[in-house]
Every structure is written in structure tokens, then in C-alpha cells.
Structure 1
Amino acid sequence: MTILLTGADGYMGWPTLLKLAKEFPNERIVGVDNFGRRRWVEEIGSVSAVPIASMEDRVKAAHEKGLTNISFIYGDLVDRDFVLELVSVFKPRAIVHLAAQPSAPYSEINGERANYTQHNNTQSTRNLLWALKELNALDTLFIETTTTGVYGQPGFPIPEGYVEVERKGQRDTIIFPGMAGSWYHMSKCHDVNNLWLANSKWKLPIIDLRTAIVYGTSTPETQEDPRFATRFDFDFYFGTVVNRFVAQALAGFPITVYGKGDLKRPMIGLQDAVNSTVAAVKRGTDGKFEIFNQTSGPVSIQEVANAIQKIAGEMGVEVEVEHLPNPRVEKEEHQMVMENDRFIQELLPDIHVDIEAGIRDTLESLLPYKDVLSAYKDRFIPEQLLAKVAAR
């Protein structure tokens, strides 16, 4: 039996690969990646704060630690022939699809990157879905981490994927319409529609994990060996808001809150994101299309900044918080109330990381890399805002 995980070299992908290998010791866990994240971060002039080993060294370390069921295949999921061969050879009982260009800011640098993001992300997903269809493997469980960003910013509580609609006396339940705020998020709206189509036409069992903002540096699995460390991005393009704010604090750079900071966003710690993704593999769907809001709860951007300032202060690190003009088109006071009862009950009954504990752990974990963060502090915010920070 084989479980295939795409995006195995990524921030969340590598810890998930390790967790899968531990949870399913009698199954082969095959990771796939084309090392795109390493190239994209280098392209925008940044690095991972935490040094990461080559995939060759990672797999070697895993085997030394007894995780001999891990394998890795280099390849590009945009290549249809590669995907067909991959699925044909390994015949996975489950595919955990984490591979994507995941950055909204990167997707909006210019039209070329917008096109690249949407082609890369949607083509990869379609290739995997059609490989399962054409190879008569429609009993394979397909799990994808999409994003809570597909919901946009509606002015009412967001359901877990489906919404009841009443029109002219008629009622129906439909998938929540995609209202993305970036070209990246729109690529995931397209993925959701393709997942729905594959399930409705072929009865392919699918779990769509609408992943929130993920933060943190490690999981219990990545802490077992230095070669197991996962990447930590802190730049404007690839660093999530919590991770970027922590990095700013340690680099002596002001925490840059866009606008008022009242905006609330769904978040989840890295360990909880990994645990719940692995729990989905254990679940199965009986031919259904299930959607879960993969979040432990909403936190405002200002609350994140305040918590970092407080905890850093307790560690002897003085931190300033500055409010800058918001470069993004968004409702600055939107609370993004999101239902997640089914997710918590069925995939994450035990939350291991709350926001303050996660911030404290991240600050402590990154202390040895303060010099790296300081050296790349010009990558924290867009260039047009750097002058504003320097002038204050």
C-alpha cells in the first residue's frame, strides 16, 4: 500500500511526510516535489531562516531513524506524462496534494507570475485527477489543502464549504462560491470546482481542507534530527503574517501592521495543520466530497502584533509596532467568522498549539537565526513601504 504526498519539500509538506511515515509504518510513503519553493524564494531575494537539508540528506536521515518507508521522486506535476507514470507505478491508495505556488503576493508581481501560478496550480491538480480516472483508480482517496482564502470576505459566518440557498421558494445546498482576493486564491477556487466535478462525475472520494494561515517552526517529528528541520520563510511574499512578524521582532525591525490591524484571519499552528491532514488520510469518505475549514480559530492582526510585542519583551527583546498603509485590497475590519465545528470534532479533537504558545515557541526557535533575519530585513515588506518605515 502506498500514500503519495505532493509538495514534499515544502513548509508543511515535509513535516506531513514524516508524520505519515510514523503513522503508517507498514505503508510506503512517497513524496514528490520539483523544488519550486526553493527557487521562488531565491528568485525574490530571500532565504529560509532555518537552514534546510537537501532532500537526499533528509531521506537518508529518515532511514537512519527507522523511517525506511519514505521514498522521494523528483518531478513536475504540470507534466501530464510524469503524473500518469507516477500514479501507474505506485498505485496510491491515497494522494495528499499539498503542492502549489502558495503566495498571493508572488502571484500579483506581474501578469507572468499570475499566469504561472494559475497554470502551475490548476494543471497539477487536473493532471492528478485525470490520472486517477484514466488509470481506473477512482477508489483512491484524494486530499487537497486548498485555502480559506477561497471564501473572500463575506459579511456573515462562513460555513464549512457548503451553503444553503433559497431562491423564489426553492432551496438547495451548493458549494460556497469562490470569491478570491488574489490570483493565487483564485487558482484554488478553480481547484475546488475541478474537485467538485471529479467527485460528481466519477464519485472520486475527496477531502478538501480549506487551510488557514499556518504558523510555527516545527513539529515533534522535525525536532528529532537537525536534518528534519522544515523551511521557515519570513519575507513579504512567502512568510505568513505570524511568521513574518516574529522575524521582524527578532531582527529589530518594527512589526508592520497594514491599516488598522482589526482584520481577523483564521489561523492554525503547523503541528495542528499536519496532525489534522494525517487524520484526514485515516478517515476515508465513501465517495463523498467533504470540506473542512482547517483552522483552530480567528485572530486579529493587531492581536498577533500585541502578543509578539508582549512575549518578546518578556524575553528581553524590545519591539515596536507600526501601522502602514495597506497595500492589499481588503475590508480592514472584516472579522472572517468561520465555522469549524466538524473540523475540530472529526480531524483535530486535541488542539496542541494556541496563538500565544505558538508565538513563544517560534520566537525561541528563531533566536539562533537572528543574524539571518537581520541580513534580509529589506525583504519583510514591499519596497514601496520601506521608505516609510525608514523615515519614522
Structure 2
Amino acid sequence: MTSTQVTRADFDEVMVPNYNPQQFIPVRGAGSRVWDQNDNEYIDFAGGIAVNALGHAHPKLVETLKEQADKLWHLSNTCTNEPALRLAQKLTAATFADKVFFANSGGEANEAAFKLARKYGFDNFGPEKNEIIAFHQGFHGRTLFTVSVGGQEKYRIGFEPVPGGISHVPFNDLEALKEAISDRTCAVVMEPIQGEGGVLSPSADFMRGVRELCDQHNALLVLDEVQTGVGRTGKLYAYMHSDVKPDILTTAKALGGGFPIGAMLCTDKVAPSLNFGTHGSTYGGNPLGCAVAEAALDIINTPEVLEQVNTKRALFEAELEKLNAKHGIFKDVRGGGLLIGAELTEEWHGKAAKFLAGARDAGVMILVAGPNVLRFTPSLIIPDADIIEGMARLDKALEVVIKAEQAAA
């Protein structure tokens, strides 16, 4: 097979312009390092947006993928398969859940969750129980339903009319939720930590209060753990840091360690509402994805990996404190585990993308969470040496960007 050389310029020629990818093209990765077409090296603090939880080309995941590739790739859901059943057994054994639905992404997992919540309300209380409450700045995916539940209007503009029966209240404001919830509410949807919304955490009292309000109004609690799940916060799922259990939970991103897969987990109480023929996915639960996800879960859901998430977070925080002592640009460092948000001071608000570009030029890949927050979601097993080297590169990037902005002022 002939390989055609492609460049970043080709993206603008052949791809829909909904993305604006960086100006380099990565071609290979190992652990927490990535190399582009010109063999430039980058330290990866982005992790594919919290996806590459075991870094790039983890030997066990590569081995599992190759083994499964020689067996079965796809069957559709006219048949079940062994990897899907094993993965479902392990997910239910490790969580609150009794049942699993597999999909291909976090958006699809959330779509299934929201449909299940409405169907459960319909089945048990009638058609009037259909309202969903979510939170401002929340993010739940890009399908029309999930972008409607998401609390960021910018993602809905131009796609109206969007599905109705959805309202939004301020995050971490229990009184606002009390005013909004009613016996017509079928579900409250929230992220245990808002990722895209700025890496914002709820209080423990808020989490408990949301659960209690759901119980009072016979509403389901849906936790979107697409970004916080599979070890990201130092527990297998972020809800495990509290005494709150959801009725439905969605998971994706890190679940496949880089292979596309998503899942909706739920209790036996609500599962019957997705009865035969009510929902489906051609590729959901395919043997390739489930085999790799099982291998990833086996590695991540261990004390060795989960406990070191917090020690590596402490190293990130210490390094960010050093950078802040030198440059004075961070107002707050927040989040949980290796989902880290560093909010810029007011002087630098709106300029997060400039620091992302500067980091790229210095050889370190980071993320943003809106225009004011730098976000870090590295591999859960990133070597300490890579954290220190990556922060040294980020230090140089900050210097360059700050000097350029000051010169332009």
C-alpha cells in the first residue's frame, strides 16, 4: 500500500472546518512523549483530553488489540461477545451499577442516559415526567440532545430548535436547584467536576443535596463521568469520593485507553425501561473496543495506579506553584487528581489559547478549559521526570508569551 505524504495544510483542503488543530501532525507516541512528522518531541500533558490514561502505545493495550484483531472485530448486537460480557461484569462489580449499555463515545453514552431517564419517567410516572435539569457551564456532548442538556449556549446557537423540557441552574447552588426541581423532573444531570466548564468542583454538601432532592421528587441522578472517570481523580469514579451514588453514570474517554468506547451504567431499578428495541448502537460493545477497555480497566483499577494519581497531582501542584512564584499568572489551581485546572489572573483572562500555543512551541502539549483556564489531563502513570521536564518547558513558554504580550501592550 502506497503512503501519501500529507501536511497540516491538507486539513484545510479536505476537512470540515469545525476543528482548528495545531500546526504539527503527531505520528508516533510512547508513554507520555509524542513525536511529529519532523521528529520534534513533545511531552504530553493533554492525554488526548483525558483519554490516554496509560499513555501512548502501552504494551499491554497494544498486545491485547493485536490478539483480538486476530479473532473478532465486529458482530453487531445481533450477537453478544466475550470481551463485552467480561468488561460489563468488571464494571458492575467495581461500581454501584447492575447493568451496562456500550456505545462508542461519551456523547453516545450520555444520549443513552438521557433517553433512559425520560423513558423511566414515562414508564413509571407518565408522560408529564419528562423534564431534565442540568447546570450552567456543564458539557455533555455534541449530539442535539446532549448539547441541549449541556449548559453552554454557544454550542447550541445555530442548531435551534433544540429539544425542549430542559432547564439549567447555576452549578453548586442548591437553592437554585430547589426552586427548579418539581415532580415533573425526571432527572438531574451533573458532572462531579465540570471539565470543559473550567475544572470546577461541587461541594460535598451540594452533591448530597442534589441526591436528596432527586429522591424527594422521584427523579434520577445522572452523573456524567466521561472526563472524571476511570481513575482520573484517584478513585475509579469520582462519585466514590463521596457517599452519593447515582442512578445512571456515563463513562468513556479513559475507558478504552485511547480506543473509542463509551458506556452507560445503571441500576436494576431503571434498566428495564431500555427494553428490547428502544435503543441501540451498531458498533457499541464491539469486541475490539471491549477487549482493550478490559485490559485498561484491569491496569487502572489497582491500588498501585490509583494511589499514585494523588502523588503525581501533588508534584504538578508544586511545579505550578514554582511557575506562579516566578510569573504570577495563576489565580487558582483546582480540580481533582490528574484533572487539573489553573485559572489565569484577571490580567490574563481571555488569553489561555496564547499559552497553549506557546506551550506547543516549547514542546509540551496542554489544554484549555475555556478562555481563562489552562487544563492538564496527563497519563495517570506519567513518569515524575516527564512532569518536571514538561514544567520546565512550560516555564519557557510562559516567559515567551508574557514578554510578547508586554511588548505588544
Structure 2 length-normalised TM: 0.27
Structure 1 length-normalised TM: 0.28
Greater RCO, CA 8 A, separation 6+: 2
